[in-house]
């Protein structure tokens, strides 16, 4: 029996904020998004790279925006067009995985969203904070789903 009152069943789109590791890792996150029943075309991944040079070397990916912490300026216009587009959107869920730059966390918190979840973070700035020993994208996303299914 499906419980329509839990938070997970109210999620239609999501933003996943991660530290960029590799293109294979991004593919695994996209697969994990599909596996939990979310529409991968309605979900985005904000991948944090170490610097602008690394960002320039990466090819543009569908539903993925790359950002370097040095690009975030709260008093100037964001030059990163992909991220500017994300800032205009509304997300039901924002999931931050791992310790991401504080600038990026603040930027994500500015987005219009219903609920935010941190997994394996030490900042504790989101609505729900989770910790797990697993590191695979499928486990992390599924762990967030299972937790949100329990919250009404």
- % of the chain beyond a pLDDT of 70: 97
In angstroms, the CA 46 to CA 104 distance is 9
pLDDT digits (tens, 9 = 90+) for 24-62: 999 999 999 999 999 999 999 999 998 878 888 887 788
Distance CA 115, CA 21 (A): 25
Domains detected in the chain = 15-150 (3.40.50)
Q: CA-to-CA distance for 91 and 69, rounded, in angstroms?
A: 21
Quote the pLDDT of residue 51.
Answer: 84
DSSP structure string for the chain = ---TTSSGGG---EEEEEE---HHHHHHHHHHHHHTT--TTT-EEEEEPSSHHHHHHSPPBTTEEEE-GGG--SSS----HHHHHHHHSEEEEEEEES---HHHHHHHHTSEEEEEEEES-SS--SSEEE--S---HHHHHHHHHHHHHH--
Q: Say what the pLDDT of residue 2 is.
A: 56
For the stretch 72-99, pLDDT in tens is 887 777 888 889 888 899 999 999 999 9
Distance CA 113, CA 94 (A): 7
Q: Up-side HSE of residue 25: CA atoms within 13 Å toward CB? A: 15
| pLDDT score at 46 | 95
Indicate whether 116 pLDDT > 70: yes
pLDDT at residue number 56: 80
pLDDT at 95: 96
The overall average pLDDT reported for the chain is 90
């Amino acid at each position: 029996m499906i419980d329509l009152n839990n938070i997970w069943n109210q999620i239609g789109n999501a933003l996943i904020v991660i530290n960029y590791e590799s293109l294979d890792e991004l593919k695994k996150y996209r697969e994990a998004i599909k596996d939990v029943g979310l529409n991968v075309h309605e979900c985005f991944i904000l991948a944090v790279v170490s610097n602008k040079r690394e960002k320039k070397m990466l090819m543009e990916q569908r539903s993925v925006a790359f950002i370097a912490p040095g690009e975030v300026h709260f008093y100037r216009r964001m030059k990163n067009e992909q991220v500017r587009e994300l800032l205009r959107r509304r997300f039901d869920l924002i999931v931050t995985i791992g310790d991401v730059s504080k600038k990026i966390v603040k930027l994500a918190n500015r987005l219009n969203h219903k609920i935010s979840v941190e997994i394996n973070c030490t900042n504790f700035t989101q609505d729900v904070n989770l910790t797990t020993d697993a590191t695979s994208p499928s486990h992390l996303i599924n762990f967030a789903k299972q937790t949100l299914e329990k919250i009404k």
